[in-house]
Structure 1
Amino acid sequence: MPLNEAPITPEVEHDLKIVKRGCDELLVESEFVRKLARSRAESKPLRIKLGLDPTAPDIHLGHTVVLNKMRQLQDLGHQVIFLIGDFTALIGDPSGRNTTRPPLTPEQIHENAKTYYEQASMVLDPARTEIRYNSEWCDKLGARGMIKLASRYTVARMMEREDFTRRFKGGIPISVHEFLYPLLQGYDSVELKADLEMGGTDQKFNLLVGRELQREYGMESQCILTMPLLEGTDGVDKMSKSKGNYIGITEAPDSMFGKLMSISDTLMWRYYELLSFRSLEDIEALQQQVKDGLNPREAKVALAQEIIERFHSRKAAEDALASFEARFRDGAIPDDMPEITVGQAPMGILKILREAGLAVSGSEAQRNVQQGGVKVDGQRIEDKSLELGAGTYVVQVGKRKFARITLTV
């Protein structure tokens, strides 16, 4: 059925509302509405593609923003394709980079890929997920195929990409092989016959290349759906293991709970929108309850329990709450406390106390630690030489001094 003949029904409008929740951009929306309509009319699921390079072995909550959307599309009856970019990882994605990304070795890629899908399956339904590796077709291209593919895209179009333009103007080298990355990612969409490709906002250029290459190969162009990049626990930079502001989905429940409780009240609502499976109506009602006097801490506890239950179990979520409350039973954590960025990590605990104004001098800071009066995230600190990495921490001195302290990268 041609796209312009597909009927737009209330069911299609319902599906579109689910797809657009929390997204940054849907291109081209009118085309996607027609794809949805045709899919319903013909009872033929759309092919939804997500490609991830196994550049690191662990998945964090930032990754799950797009995985959650994939799961929602699965629940609407569509076919999702989890593409592991084992070939493109050999090149290294230049998106958002100021320098050439060091390529991974085949051994590193293999090790990372072993656990990648296993962790993604904690969000996706494995029974309804198609697993592919882009080495299936990229290895077969060979030199002749690569030249033919490169002929379908111009250097001028490639230089429209912001990070390439910035590096070129700044005199920062751009290797020729980096131009191949978006081409090969786009070619993945050709091979997979994708109807919709998903990614973070930093992937928009690559996703658009796929749309154009499909046209070049005489196919109907995919639509693209970009999802926001989730801020890490510091509330500043995007969640990243290298920045130390991440929450891994396989972390221990107590660790996940503590990190989620450390985020600011403002960031909490961002996490609700992008990570929670609660309806938007439920979230809006909860926000109103907070405005009407509900302690924001209660809303944060509910979010932490929902996420821990998803990746562990309901009992683990309940135990994590009990453990958290037990740690803070001796001195209640105030809802309002100073939020201070003290500098770059790593930083010693004595300097942190001074910089945050929790001790007037180094000797006082040292004395507080020696007397057992300093706690970080509810745990008593006994080592005066302790250094903290990047992240956000609730630091307590005595019974009355508190601060939410952020260390940057």
Structure 2
Amino acid sequence: MSERIMTEPTEPTEPTGPTGPTEPTGPTGPAGLAGKAAELDAADPLAACRELFTLDAGTVYLDGNSLGALPSHVPARMQEVITREWGALRIRSWEESGWWTAPERIGDRIAPIVGAGPGTVVVGDSTSVNVFKALVAAVRTAVADRDEILVDAATFPTDGYIAESAARMTSRRLVPYTPGDPIGPRTAAVLINHVDYRTGRLHDLPGLTAAAHAAGARTVWDLCHSAGALPVGLAAHGVDFAVGCTYKYLNGGPGSPAFLYVRPGLQSSFDSPLPGWNSHADPFGMTPEYHPATGAPRGRVGTPDILSMLALESALDVWDGVSIKDVRAKSLVLTDFFLECVRHLPVEPVTPAPHAERGSQVSLRCDNAGAVMKELISRGVVGDFRQPDVLRFGFTPLYVGFGDALRAARILGEALG
């Protein structure tokens, strides 16, 4: 990719001429933008990945930050799972088809995407359940006399609800936190969203993790809107705990199981508040006393949800040979281009312009945003709406192209007009 156009994305600069798709002429008017989109699509080293997904020719799908598109080979794999592994082998598949080890095996496939080592990621349960496990465990491994849990003040609501329950369980106070604010000596753990779900703002994971550690606090990162969209570097930056869903940029399917990361140095002291039989050192011993397993299996709880888990495992095949750095490079150029296309529309970008502060979505504020999004969807541009006035467009680099971005901007202009 080093010789491709998208290798070195640059920060957006002030243009010298018209840039929006509503401009009638000029090098960056519609004709110029169309030429630029064609050039970027032709130079896209990830363009072939689009053929791996089931997508409608007449639809621009920009909601992969809510539900990723279906990898086209997954239905055949699931037919095999249902007819042979479940239908013919039945209970034998726990061993013969590898069902029992799926949570760790699939975790090891996700680990390189989020910058983690083998044996540190386990798949299972929902994001909410994993946030609860991670946050309570973070407090339990923190300095005993610390009485605060900080939670991202703009967090996804469920994270806040879970954090409040975790605080009650551990007799701590829940304190709203704006990423970047000082962390004091009373803080036991900090729960932060890597990318804000509403605005698309990317928070400084290395810097905030280092600040928390300098204050003696544990970190729990929610990666739902960054896993599969950009490099995370969990191991490199010493993150303590992390959780994330797999149905967005990882394309695992609706309700696919989430993942839990525990830093190797904390695995032996990881004290899960949900010690189910699947995390027992001898799960089939059926002993009344609980003795936790070692490594990633300690994060398991109950019987794995095999059908959705194996759909996720199959979906991860689209990542074979794909570099997350290349995904990030395309994401930045793609979102830059979309912002250029909508520059002259009556919308206000909510997503930060600097690359260091941007995930892989663009959020725009406009009047009557809910009605505008309904109109866009009716015309084949699928994004989503967040109250009260935000349009969200998720750019999944594996299957969204520059022509898609231009078409979405053009139809948005018509809907607003």
Would the TM-score normalized by the shorter structure come out above 0.5? no
Q: Which has the larger share of helix?
A: 1
Of structures 1 and 2, the larger Rg is shown by 1
TM class, shorter-length: under 0.3
Structure with greater contact order relative to length (CA < 8 Å, sep ≥ 6): 2
TM norm structure 2: 0.24
